[in-house]
Structure 1
Amino acid sequence: MEKFLTQHKRKAEDEASPDVLPKQFPKAKMRKYDEAYLAFGFTCTTVGNEERPQCVVCLKVLACDSLKPNKLRRHLETNHPEHKDKPVDFFRHKLVNCRAQQSLFTKAASVPANAQLASYKVAYRVAQCKKPHTIAEELILPCAMDMVSVMLNDSAASKLRAIPLSNNTIGRRIYDISKDIEEQLNDKVRDGRFSLQMDEATDSNKDCLLITYVRFIDGDDMREELLFCKQITGRATAEELFKIIDTYLKEANLKWEDCVGICTDGARAMAGIRGGLQALIKRVSPNAQWTHCMIHREALASKQLSPELNDVMTHVIATVNYIKTRPVKARKESPGHTPSFCHILPMRDRIFCCGLHQNKIQVKDGH
């Protein structure tokens, strides 16, 4: 009796002890494929580092535990009863056809390197012209085939069919190109110091957007590029704007310590020295210097102009907005008279210069 109690107590202590590891059950034995299984109409294929049986008749892949003669025979007799008495040569011929078919599918699915490069070039052109993605397959490809068939021959034109130009393909190509341009820009910004300029904007759908430009030194040149454009989902507060900028800089692996300047308008959410975006950025980048945007300063100064100068400025601004907000008007050019922003801007600068030195100007002949 004492012996039994002692053994029972020792067993209970062993089960309660955390040092005792549970029993390791042996792993299930994995069967290997045998060439004799071809007599049942099965070959071997690899799926996820596992050998699985594949029927050479219906090309169905079974589970790993089906790699047994009785299960393979049952599949043959149940699904292909007309082939159960066929010799091994019959299934060997089926295996050759199966492998040839698989190689044909792989060759058809692969895209040549030159055709893929041509697809990217066409997608870049479509993105530059701001055209619908369907124009590549509906217009560009047929026109290219017609030109090649006329200038060369029909066989050369038929090779253009290998270029993937579907709607979804062009969309993916444009996305890949934009991501590559963004990565190249971020790599150049990481090499030195940079400054940011941000402003809020509203598109035609009344969506509030945060547009941020970056200025940096590329070699011996000073460059200014669009860094990102993000939608403001909530309220346009200083905390929300800083969160958007901070999240992007972390994703792009850009450091706040390298930011030496910020440029915004005079709104309180942007330029506030205590709770504005300026104050939040200076907490993480003390060396950053804030600058009031010159365009917004000019807009504020134009409100105090004389009536004559204000009338001229109103007509100039209305003309620029009418031209630049309509792509058809912006593309139209007449000889000697190009109503574009680059020609009107110097005149606007001259008007501001005159307004700083004179109280009023004379308007003659509508100029």
Structure 2
Amino acid sequence: MANRNVYCARTISANKKTNIKRHDATKHREFTATFPLGSLARHQKLDKLQKSLTSSENMLVSFTPTDKRATEASLRVSKILAKTMLPYFHAEIVKECMVEAMERLFPDKRDVVGKVKAIPLSRKTATGKIESINDHLRMTLLTHIDQADYFSIAIDESTDIMDVAQLAVFVRFFDGEEMKEALLTLVGLERETTSQATYDALVKRLDKLKIPL
């Protein structure tokens, strides 16, 4: 397992005290000021960051090498389905197509076809994989926002196919190396779309995400 910094989940090339101190002093010098050594706030913050890092690393852990590759293949197919907004049951169709293609391309290599058949791509599995990807991306984004000195938000209100007003919330911040911009969340505005209702819904969602204004 790679050595990963609990603050930012970045890989540290060598697990040496000097390397870690240099990285923390360069990238996370504000952390100690905000969360002093020995404080309860620091203990709780580190515990939260460690749980987030452990959760993301456990997504592909505890598998044999073959199982790990099959799981990674399942994640990649599920990610494509999510990006193209196709129904999750299409994962089963993708697998069927892959098996047919492998049987024609490699008729003498049953082990190759067997590996394709072993890829978990049921509708339920695809749903679980996409939810795992979503949870990981959300936690990573929230961690980066929490560590940023400043962030800005932009909102855009539109309606979905059910004619329900949806508030898209975008966030922009500097992560210590470059500017980042991402879709933070969608907020439904079911009753009214006045400025006050929009503001209240936005503040309520940011509070739920534990993002302080």
TM-score category of the 2 structures, normalised to the smaller one: 0.5 to 0.7
Counterpart in the other structure of 1:204? 161
Task: Work out whether 1:155 is the aligned partner of 2:111.
Answer: yes
Match of 1:121 among 73, 76, 81: 76
The letter of the residue matching 2:88 is: H
Match of 1:167 among 102, 116, 123: 123
Match of 1:182 among 138, 146, 159: 138
- Equivalent residue runs for 1:294-305 within 5 Å: none
Mapped to 2, the partners of 1:212 and 1:128 lie a distance apart of 19
Higher RCO by CA contacts (8 Å cutoff, separation 6 or greater): 2
Mapped to 1, the partners of 2:181 and 2:67 lie a distance apart of 37
Shift of 1:159: 2.8
- In angstroms, what is the RMSD of aligned CA positions? 2.1
Task: Work out whether 1:227 is the aligned partner of 2:181.
Answer: no
Per the normalisation by structure 2, the TM-score is 0.61
Structure 1 residues 325-362: Cα deviation after superposition (integer angstroms, max 9, x where no partner): xxxxxxxxxxxxxxxxxxxxxxxxxxxxxxxxxxxxxx
- Equivalent residue runs for 1:49-60 within 5 Å: none
Counterpart in the other structure of 1:247? 204
Residue pair 2:187, 2:205 contacting (<8 A) in 1 also: no
Residue pair 2:171, 2:181 contacting (<8 A) in 1 also: yes
The letter of the residue matching 1:131 is: L
Per the normalisation by structure 1, the TM-score is 0.37
Aligned residues: 145
Larger Rg: 1
Structure 1 residues 232-266: Cα deviation after superposition (integer angstroms, max 9, x where no partner): 1222234432332223222322111xxxxxxxxxx
Greater CA drift, 244-253 or 119-128: 244-253
Mapped to 2, the partners of 1:236 and 1:128 lie a distance apart of 29
Shift of 1:165: 0.9
Structure 1 residues 132-180: Cα deviation after superposition (integer angstroms, max 9, x where no partner): 2222212x21222233332361232023222221122212211221121
The letter of the residue matching 1:120 is: L
Mapped to 1, the partners of 2:77 and 2:156 lie a distance apart of 33
Mapped to 1, the partners of 2:174 and 2:111 lie a distance apart of 50
What are structure 2's unaligned runs of at least 5 residues? 1-65
